Amino acid sequence: MLVFWKQKLVFLAVPKTGTSAYETALTPHASMVVSDPPELKHAPFYRYNRFFRPMFEKVGADHMDVMAVIREPVSWLGSWYRYRQRPFLDGKRTSTKDISFDDFVLAYCQGDKPPFANVGAQSKFVEPRPNGTQVSHLFRYEDQGKIIDFLEDRLNVKLDLPRENVSPKRDLELSPEVKAKLRRKHAAEFELWDSLG
């Protein structure tokens, strides 16, 4: 999570949406960088609303805009799948080594997900809160130009994004049956994505 106090902007770090590159590029301009532990770095909107927003209001921020980046659901799952293929996870319950992408997605569609497929949901990460607060600016990961234009304009900076946290290349083609099941079981993910078009 990045906080730009003077510009009244908070950038939530949705996992697997390129936020590490933005963190590297924007850290010199941020008032606050929450980079550890992962539960705070990747604080979802409900956690921001419950803990950070009240703290900011107590020290004078009457309103902070909140932005987040959302990735196309199959691509987002593919990024998790590839990330969990890295050798440092070999032998761990979160590893996807020797698991096909179809099987990973089928496991993600289960109610009780095995550890390797328990990766959360983007729609839950940015879900509006009952008190009426919501993410102000949602961007598609695939539209980097729009994200960069917004940040450069809002923060009055010029961005040069490094490539960071890049996972190994893998075949990420889903069978039609698995893709249909994913769309049915996780319709909210696709509805959110489609709403940003």
Peptide bond into 73 cis (omega under 30): no
Which of 78 and 168 is assigned the larger pLDDT? 78
Q: Are the C-beta atoms of 84 and 94 separated by less than 8 Å?
A: yes
Whole-number CA gyration radius for the chain? 17
- Whether residue 165 has pLDDT greater than 70: no
Helix (H) or strand (E) holding 183: helix 176-185
How many structural domains comprise the chain? 1
Closest by CA position to 120, among listed 57, 38, 180: 38
Dump pLDDT digits (tens) for 54-88.
999 999 888 899 999 999 999 999 999 999 999 99
Query: C-alpha 65: how far from its chain's center?
Result: 17
Q: What confidence tens digit (pLDDT) does each residue in 110-132 have?
A: 999 999 999 999 999 999 999 88
The CATH number of residue 67's host domain is 3.40.50
Digit-coded pLDDT (tens) for 13-56: 999 999 989 999 999 999 999 998 888 899 999 999 999 999 99
**CA within 13 Å, CB half, 25:** 18
Domain holding 142, by residue range, is 2-195
